[in-house]
Every structure is written in C-alpha cells, then in structure tokens.
C-alpha cells in the first residue's frame, strides 16, 4: 500500500467521497508509474493464460471444420484479446483484509472518517489507468499475431467502457466480502479455493459462456462472476442487442448494491471481532 490513505475533510458527503477517490487514484497512478517494468512483467504473466486458451480453442475450431459453438478461430482471437484488458481491469486484492490485519494497517485505517474499503477500491482504480495505457501496445502485438475478427458499434464501445469499470466494482466488492472471513480465520486459502473455481467456470474466463451447458449458462446469469468477465467481453464483440447491453449494466448495478449492502451488514461484526482479538 505504501502511502497513507487521505482523510476526508469537513465537506459534503458526495464531494468528500469524490475527492477521496480522486486522491486515492492519484496515489495509485503515481505509485504504479514508478514500477512500469514490474507492471509489464505482471501483465505479460497474465497474458499467458488467455493465449493458452486462445491456441487451444482456435485449434479445436480448425479441427471442427472452421468453428465451434459459433466461434471461428478469428473470433476466438477477438474474445481472448479483449479478455486481456478485462482481466487486467478487474484485478483486485483478494487478500486485502488479511494483509491489512497482518501488517497492522487496519488500526490506522480505522482512524479515518471513511470505511477502509474505499481506499482499496480507489487505489486499485488508479492502477487501472496505468494498465490501460500499458495494454495498448500489447493489444497491437496480439492483433498482429492472431488476427482477431469483429466489428463494433458505437453503443457497444460505450457499454464496454462502462462495463469494464462495473466489472471492477463488482469483483472488488465480491472479494472484499469474501475477504472479511480473515477477521475470523488466519487461513484464507481454503476459502478462496472454493470461490475461485466458480469464477473460473461460470464467468467466461476459461471459455465463452455460450460454449457451456445450458444449466451452467442459467446459473451464471444469477451469480456475480459473469458480470466481471463474460458480459464486458460480449458487450464489445458479442453483437448483443441493446436490451441485453442495458440489462447487463443493470445486473452489474444490482451486484454492486448487493456487494455494498453485504459489507454494511458484515462489517460491524467483523470490526468488533478485530477489536476483541486485540488488533
């Protein structure tokens, strides 16, 4: 985390939150710009995953006569190249609470007149600005190598831009809620090992959801994972009708509300547990 989280001054609540997030984002940007090489290596490491998926499914498409599940090899290329940006955009700290407790940051953060979760979301949001800039040359190289094929409409670009940030918010709140288990246990690994497979198979991260069985697609529709991966990607390349695009944004908004409400519900018990243990 490095820098101290800025406190909100005696101003209106909305303006205070805006100023807080802008300050946290500025710190995130300035911090990550100093680690450009490390960020590039991190991004390259993350790109290895979709390239493996891309090569596998492109090969399957060729062997199946040119397409599989309605995807050609070039359309798989489009899917997984867009995937690289969505994946980098929705990176969040799945172990934030565990780190805050272990390193003693939480005691300091509790002194600020704002919930600690805002710092994590704001700081990582600033990181995304750096990620987007660094991703641009990467997508050029990937496009030259794999020749993606898709056409987009202005509304799809607009929805994709909003959906990317929505995906980040949904995933951040999801793992913030899961991560609060750290107030009751020192072993988050087993808990994350239960959640992560659901994300892998029901989000569109491993494979486009349209290739999954019907029951899995229906389950994905009512869980948060699809709205952090599959929907932003499909919003840009899936040729979704306007109703589906707006419906997807509405589902992201719903899961943001659920995430915020869950934090408000769990937090009083979590912070009392922290105080009782002597944090």
188 neighbors 181 (Cβ within 8 angstroms): yes
- Residues 186-243 have pLDDT tens digits of 788 888 888 999 999 999 998 999 999 999 999 999 999 999 999 999 999 988 999 9
Q: Specify the higher pLDDT residue, 150 or 158.
A: 158
- Residue 231 CA to residue 237 CA, distance in Å, equals 10
Angle between helices 230-237 and 73-89 in degrees, nearest 10? 130
Location of structure tokens 């498409």: 61
- Residue 89 CA to residue 252 CA, distance in Å, equals 15
Is the pTM here over 0.75, yes or no? Answer: yes
- Residues 42-94 have pLDDT tens digits of 877 778 888 898 889 888 888 888 888 888 888 999 999 999 999 888 888 77
Domain boundaries, the chain: 13-277
Mean of all residue pLDDT scores within the chain: 87
- Residue 24 CA to residue 5 CA, distance in Å, equals 7
């Amino acid at each position: 985390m490095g820098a101290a989280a800025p406190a909100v001054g005696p101003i209106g609540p909305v303006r205070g939150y805006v100023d807080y997030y802008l300050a946290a984002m500025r710190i995130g940007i300035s911090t990550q710009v100093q680690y450009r090489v490390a960020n590039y290596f991190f991004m390259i490491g993350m790109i290895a995953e979709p390239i493996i998926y891309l090569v596998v499914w492109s090969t399957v498409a060729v062997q199946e006569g040119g397409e599989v599940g309605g995807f050609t090899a070039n359309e798989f290329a489009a899917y997984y190249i867009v995937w690289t940006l969505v994946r980098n955009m929705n990176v969040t700290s799945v172990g934030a609470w565990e780190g805050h407790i272990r390193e003693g940051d939480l005691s300091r953060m509790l002194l600020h007149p704002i919930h600690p979760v805002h710092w994590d979301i704001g700081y990582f949001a600033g990181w995304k600005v750096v990620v987007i800039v660094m991703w641009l040359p990467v997508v050029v190289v990937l496009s030259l190598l794999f020749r993606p094929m898709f056409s987009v409409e202005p509304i799809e670009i607009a929805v994709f831009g909003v959906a990317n940030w929505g995906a980040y918010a949904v995933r951040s709140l999801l793992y913030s809620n899961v991560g609060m288990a750290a107030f009751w246990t020192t072993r988050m690994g087993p808990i994350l090992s239960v959640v992560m497979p659901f994300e892998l198979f029901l989000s569109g991260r491993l494979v486009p959801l349209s290739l999954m069985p019907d029951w899995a697609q229906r389950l994905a529709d009512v869980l948060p994972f699809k709205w952090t991966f599959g929907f932003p990607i499909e919003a840009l390349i899936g040729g979704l009708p306007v109703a589906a695009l707006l419906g997807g944004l509405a589902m992201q908004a719903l899961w943001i509300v659920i995430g915020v409400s869950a934090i408000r519900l769990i937090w009083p018990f979590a912070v009392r547990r922290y105080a009782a243990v002597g944090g």
